Amino acid sequence: PPVPPASAPPRLYRQIDGSHPYALIGALSFALPGSVFAAFTALDLVLWARGATSAVPLTTLLALLLLWLGLHVPLLATGASLGFRQPRAEDPCFTNLIPRQIPTQPLWAHPLVAALSGGLLPFGSAAIELSSLYSSAWNGRIYSLFGFLFLTATTTALICAEVGVVLCYFQLCREDYRWWWRSFAHTGSCGLYFFLHAAAYAHSELHLSGPTAIAIYYGYTAAASAALSLVTGGVSFVACFWFVRSIFAAVKVD
Protein backbone atom coordinates (compact mmCIF):
# COMPACT_ATOMS: atom_id res chain seq x y z
CA PRO A 1 0.00 0.00 0.00
CA PRO A 2 1.15 3.60 -0.51
CA VAL A 3 2.57 5.24 2.59
CA PRO A 4 -0.18 7.90 3.20
CA PRO A 5 -3.10 5.39 3.27
CA ALA A 6 -1.05 3.08 5.50
CA SER A 7 -0.85 5.84 8.11
CA ALA A 8 -4.65 6.04 8.51
CA PRO A 9 -5.18 2.87 10.64
CA PRO A 10 -2.48 3.83 13.19
CA ARG A 11 -3.98 7.31 13.57
CA LEU A 12 -7.38 5.79 14.21
CA TYR A 13 -5.79 3.30 16.62
CA ARG A 14 -4.28 6.18 18.57
CA GLN A 15 -7.63 7.92 18.56
CA ILE A 16 -9.20 5.02 20.48
CA ASP A 17 -6.21 4.91 22.88
CA GLY A 18 -4.77 1.67 21.53
CA SER A 19 -1.74 0.42 23.46
CA HIS A 20 -0.31 -2.32 21.19
CA PRO A 21 1.08 -0.60 18.06
CA TYR A 22 3.30 -3.50 17.01
CA ALA A 23 0.37 -5.91 17.19
CA LEU A 24 -1.56 -3.56 14.88
CA ILE A 25 1.30 -3.41 12.37
CA GLY A 26 1.60 -7.20 12.45
CA ALA A 27 -2.14 -7.66 11.90
CA LEU A 28 -2.16 -5.19 9.00
CA SER A 29 0.87 -6.83 7.42
CA PHE A 30 -0.02 -10.50 7.78
CA ALA A 31 -3.70 -11.07 8.63
CA LEU A 32 -5.45 -10.61 5.28
CA PRO A 33 -2.42 -10.93 2.94
CA GLY A 34 -1.18 -13.99 4.82
CA SER A 35 -4.57 -15.67 4.78
CA VAL A 36 -5.03 -15.02 1.05
CA PHE A 37 -1.51 -16.18 0.22
CA ALA A 38 -1.92 -19.35 2.30
CA ALA A 39 -5.25 -20.13 0.61
CA PHE A 40 -3.78 -19.41 -2.83
CA THR A 41 -0.79 -21.69 -2.14
CA ALA A 42 -3.02 -24.48 -0.80
CA LEU A 43 -5.28 -24.34 -3.85
CA ASP A 44 -2.26 -24.27 -6.14
CA LEU A 45 -0.91 -27.38 -4.42
CA VAL A 46 -4.20 -29.09 -5.20
CA LEU A 47 -3.74 -28.21 -8.88
CA TRP A 48 -0.16 -29.48 -8.79
CA ALA A 49 -1.29 -32.77 -7.28
CA ARG A 50 -3.87 -33.15 -10.05
CA GLY A 51 -1.31 -32.30 -12.74
CA ALA A 52 -3.36 -29.34 -13.99
CA THR A 53 -1.74 -27.01 -16.52
CA SER A 54 -3.33 -24.00 -14.81
CA ALA A 55 -1.17 -24.45 -11.70
CA VAL A 56 0.95 -21.41 -10.88
CA PRO A 57 4.71 -22.12 -11.13
CA LEU A 58 6.85 -22.09 -8.02
CA THR A 59 8.83 -19.09 -9.30
CA THR A 60 5.63 -17.04 -9.50
CA LEU A 61 4.73 -17.97 -5.92
CA LEU A 62 8.21 -16.92 -4.78
CA ALA A 63 7.86 -13.62 -6.68
CA LEU A 64 4.53 -12.94 -4.95
CA LEU A 65 6.10 -13.78 -1.60
CA LEU A 66 8.98 -11.37 -2.26
CA LEU A 67 6.56 -8.61 -3.28
CA TRP A 68 4.58 -9.15 -0.12
CA LEU A 69 7.49 -9.30 2.31
CA GLY A 70 9.85 -6.97 0.45
CA LEU A 71 7.43 -4.26 -0.70
CA HIS A 72 4.09 -4.46 1.07
CA VAL A 73 5.37 -4.98 4.63
CA PRO A 74 8.11 -2.26 4.58
CA LEU A 75 5.78 0.31 3.02
CA LEU A 76 3.07 -0.49 5.54
CA ALA A 77 5.51 -0.29 8.45
CA THR A 78 6.78 3.07 7.16
CA GLY A 79 3.28 4.47 6.82
CA ALA A 80 2.31 3.11 10.24
CA SER A 81 5.31 4.75 11.89
CA LEU A 82 4.29 8.06 10.32
CA GLY A 83 0.72 7.58 11.52
CA PHE A 84 1.77 6.89 15.11
CA ARG A 85 3.79 10.10 15.14
CA GLN A 86 0.78 12.22 14.23
CA PRO A 87 -0.87 14.08 17.10
CA ARG A 88 -4.09 12.65 18.46
CA ALA A 89 -7.16 14.54 17.24
CA GLU A 90 -9.09 16.31 19.96
CA ASP A 91 -12.42 14.74 20.89
CA PRO A 92 -15.39 16.92 19.94
CA CYS A 93 -16.93 16.72 23.42
CA PHE A 94 -16.37 15.35 26.90
CA THR A 95 -16.88 11.61 27.34
CA ASN A 96 -18.18 10.07 30.55
CA LEU A 97 -15.81 7.61 32.19
CA ILE A 98 -18.72 5.59 33.61
CA PRO A 99 -20.68 3.75 30.88
CA ARG A 100 -24.33 4.64 30.72
CA GLN A 101 -27.01 1.99 31.11
CA ILE A 102 -28.47 1.00 27.74
CA PRO A 103 -32.26 0.62 27.60
CA THR A 104 -33.84 -2.63 26.48
CA GLN A 105 -33.70 -2.79 22.70
CA PRO A 106 -36.47 -4.09 20.42
CA LEU A 107 -36.01 -7.32 18.52
CA TRP A 108 -35.58 -5.60 15.15
CA ALA A 109 -32.64 -3.64 16.62
CA HIS A 110 -30.67 -6.79 17.38
CA PRO A 111 -27.11 -6.53 15.95
CA LEU A 112 -27.57 -9.66 13.82
CA VAL A 113 -30.84 -8.40 12.34
CA ALA A 114 -29.35 -4.98 11.60
CA ALA A 115 -26.24 -6.50 10.02
CA LEU A 116 -28.16 -8.87 7.76
CA SER A 117 -30.62 -6.20 6.64
CA GLY A 118 -27.97 -3.52 6.18
CA GLY A 119 -25.96 -5.57 3.68
CA LEU A 120 -28.89 -6.11 1.34
CA LEU A 121 -28.96 -2.61 -0.17
CA PRO A 122 -25.27 -2.35 -1.18
CA PHE A 123 -25.31 -5.91 -2.48
CA GLY A 124 -28.47 -5.27 -4.47
CA SER A 125 -26.87 -2.25 -6.14
CA ALA A 126 -24.02 -4.42 -7.45
CA ALA A 127 -25.86 -7.69 -8.09
CA ILE A 128 -26.64 -6.83 -11.72
CA GLU A 129 -22.97 -6.58 -12.59
CA LEU A 130 -21.91 -9.74 -10.78
CA SER A 131 -23.08 -12.12 -13.49
CA SER A 132 -20.79 -10.44 -16.02
CA LEU A 133 -17.89 -10.65 -13.59
CA TYR A 134 -18.54 -14.33 -12.93
CA SER A 135 -18.67 -15.09 -16.65
CA SER A 136 -15.42 -13.23 -17.22
CA ALA A 137 -13.62 -14.90 -14.31
CA TRP A 138 -14.82 -18.50 -14.71
CA ASN A 139 -15.94 -18.86 -18.35
CA GLY A 140 -13.05 -17.01 -20.00
CA ARG A 141 -15.22 -14.28 -21.51
CA ILE A 142 -13.74 -10.87 -22.24
CA TYR A 143 -14.91 -8.16 -19.84
CA SER A 144 -15.01 -4.65 -21.29
CA LEU A 145 -17.54 -2.72 -19.17
CA PHE A 146 -14.96 -1.10 -16.93
CA GLY A 147 -16.73 2.26 -16.92
CA PHE A 148 -19.95 0.68 -15.72
CA LEU A 149 -17.97 -1.34 -13.17
CA PHE A 150 -16.45 1.85 -11.79
CA LEU A 151 -19.89 3.45 -11.58
CA THR A 152 -21.27 0.38 -9.82
CA ALA A 153 -18.40 0.35 -7.31
CA THR A 154 -18.87 4.07 -6.60
CA THR A 155 -22.62 3.66 -6.13
CA THR A 156 -22.09 0.69 -3.83
CA ALA A 157 -19.62 2.67 -1.69
CA LEU A 158 -22.05 5.58 -1.39
CA ILE A 159 -24.88 3.25 -0.40
CA CYS A 160 -22.65 1.59 2.21
CA ALA A 161 -21.88 4.99 3.72
CA GLU A 162 -25.53 6.06 3.71
CA VAL A 163 -26.83 2.78 5.16
CA GLY A 164 -24.17 2.81 7.86
CA VAL A 165 -24.94 6.40 8.89
CA VAL A 166 -28.71 5.83 8.97
CA LEU A 167 -28.46 2.66 11.06
CA CYS A 168 -25.93 4.34 13.36
CA TYR A 169 -28.30 7.30 13.83
CA PHE A 170 -31.19 5.00 14.72
CA GLN A 171 -28.94 3.17 17.17
CA LEU A 172 -27.87 6.40 18.89
CA CYS A 173 -31.50 7.52 19.07
CA ARG A 174 -32.21 4.35 21.08
CA GLU A 175 -29.44 5.44 23.51
CA ASP A 176 -27.16 2.60 22.44
CA TYR A 177 -23.65 4.02 22.12
CA ARG A 178 -21.94 0.77 21.04
CA TRP A 179 -21.70 1.76 17.38
CA TRP A 180 -18.05 0.93 16.59
CA TRP A 181 -18.17 -2.71 15.53
CA ARG A 182 -21.83 -2.54 14.59
CA SER A 183 -21.16 0.18 12.05
CA PHE A 184 -18.70 -2.21 10.40
CA ALA A 185 -21.11 -5.15 10.53
CA HIS A 186 -24.03 -3.15 9.12
CA THR A 187 -22.66 -3.37 5.59
CA GLY A 188 -19.89 -5.92 6.09
CA SER A 189 -22.53 -8.61 5.62
CA CYS A 190 -22.45 -7.71 1.92
CA GLY A 191 -19.62 -10.26 1.59
CA LEU A 192 -21.91 -13.00 2.90
CA TYR A 193 -24.53 -12.21 0.26
CA PHE A 194 -21.78 -12.18 -2.38
CA PHE A 195 -20.71 -15.69 -1.35
CA LEU A 196 -24.30 -16.99 -1.41
CA HIS A 197 -24.89 -15.39 -4.82
CA ALA A 198 -21.70 -16.96 -6.17
CA ALA A 199 -22.80 -20.35 -4.83
CA ALA A 200 -26.16 -19.98 -6.58
CA TYR A 201 -24.37 -19.00 -9.81
CA ALA A 202 -22.12 -22.07 -9.60
CA HIS A 203 -25.13 -24.33 -9.07
CA SER A 204 -27.14 -22.88 -11.97
CA GLU A 205 -24.47 -22.02 -14.56
CA LEU A 206 -21.15 -23.76 -13.92
CA HIS A 207 -22.23 -27.25 -12.83
CA LEU A 208 -18.94 -27.97 -11.08
CA SER A 209 -17.84 -31.60 -10.97
CA GLY A 210 -15.09 -33.08 -8.87
CA PRO A 211 -13.57 -31.95 -5.58
CA THR A 212 -10.78 -29.98 -7.28
CA ALA A 213 -13.09 -27.66 -9.19
CA ILE A 214 -15.28 -27.17 -6.13
CA ALA A 215 -12.28 -26.39 -3.90
CA ILE A 216 -10.84 -23.91 -6.40
CA TYR A 217 -14.14 -22.10 -6.96
CA TYR A 218 -15.26 -21.82 -3.36
CA GLY A 219 -11.74 -21.11 -2.08
CA TYR A 220 -11.28 -18.08 -4.32
CA THR A 221 -14.88 -17.01 -3.73
CA ALA A 222 -14.39 -17.12 0.04
CA ALA A 223 -11.26 -14.94 -0.26
CA ALA A 224 -13.10 -12.43 -2.44
CA SER A 225 -16.05 -12.41 -0.03
CA ALA A 226 -13.78 -11.69 2.93
CA ALA A 227 -12.09 -8.83 1.07
CA LEU A 228 -15.46 -7.41 0.04
CA SER A 229 -16.68 -7.55 3.64
CA LEU A 230 -13.63 -5.62 4.81
CA VAL A 231 -14.08 -2.95 2.13
CA THR A 232 -17.84 -2.43 2.55
CA GLY A 233 -17.62 -2.59 6.35
CA GLY A 234 -14.69 -0.17 6.35
CA VAL A 235 -16.58 2.36 4.23
CA SER A 236 -19.52 2.20 6.65
CA PHE A 237 -17.27 2.59 9.68
CA VAL A 238 -15.43 5.62 8.28
CA ALA A 239 -18.74 7.28 7.39
CA CYS A 240 -20.15 6.60 10.86
CA PHE A 241 -16.95 7.82 12.52
CA TRP A 242 -17.21 11.11 10.63
CA PHE A 243 -20.96 11.34 11.34
CA VAL A 244 -20.63 10.77 15.10
CA ARG A 245 -17.81 13.29 15.44
CA SER A 246 -19.77 15.83 13.41
CA ILE A 247 -22.99 15.62 15.42
CA PHE A 248 -21.25 15.68 18.79
CA ALA A 249 -19.05 18.58 17.70
CA ALA A 250 -22.26 20.53 17.03
CA VAL A 251 -23.58 19.89 20.57
CA LYS A 252 -23.50 23.06 22.66
CA VAL A 253 -22.79 22.38 26.32
CA ASP A 254 -23.60 25.23 28.72
Given this model, what pLDDT does residue 226 score? 92
The answer to pTM > 0.85 is: no
Given this model, what pLDDT does residue 232 score? 94
Given this model, what pLDDT does residue 253 score? 56
Given this model, what pLDDT does residue 139 score? 76
Q: What is the mean pLDDT of residues 110-138?
A: 86
Residue 160: pLDDT band with limits 50, 70, 90 = very high
3 state SS of 90: coil
Summarised one tens digit per residue, pLDDT across range 32-62 is 888 889 888 888 888 888 777 778 888 988 9
pLDDT higher than 80, residue 248? yes
Nearest to 170 by CA among 92, 110, 98: 110
Q: What is the mean pLDDT of residues 153-171?
A: 93
Residue 155: pLDDT band with limits 50, 70, 90 = very high
Side chain identity at 243, as an amino acid letter? F
d(CA 167, CA 236): 10
Q: What is the mean pLDDT of residues 186-213?
A: 88
Task: Give, in order, the Cα–Cα distances in Å from 104 to each of 97, 101, 174, 230.
Answer: 22, 9, 9, 30
Q: What is the mean pLDDT of residues 186-208?
A: 89
Q: What is the mean pLDDT of residues 77-99?
A: 78
pLDDT higher than 90, residue 131? no
Residue 108: pLDDT band with limits 50, 70, 90 = confident
3 state SS of 62: helix
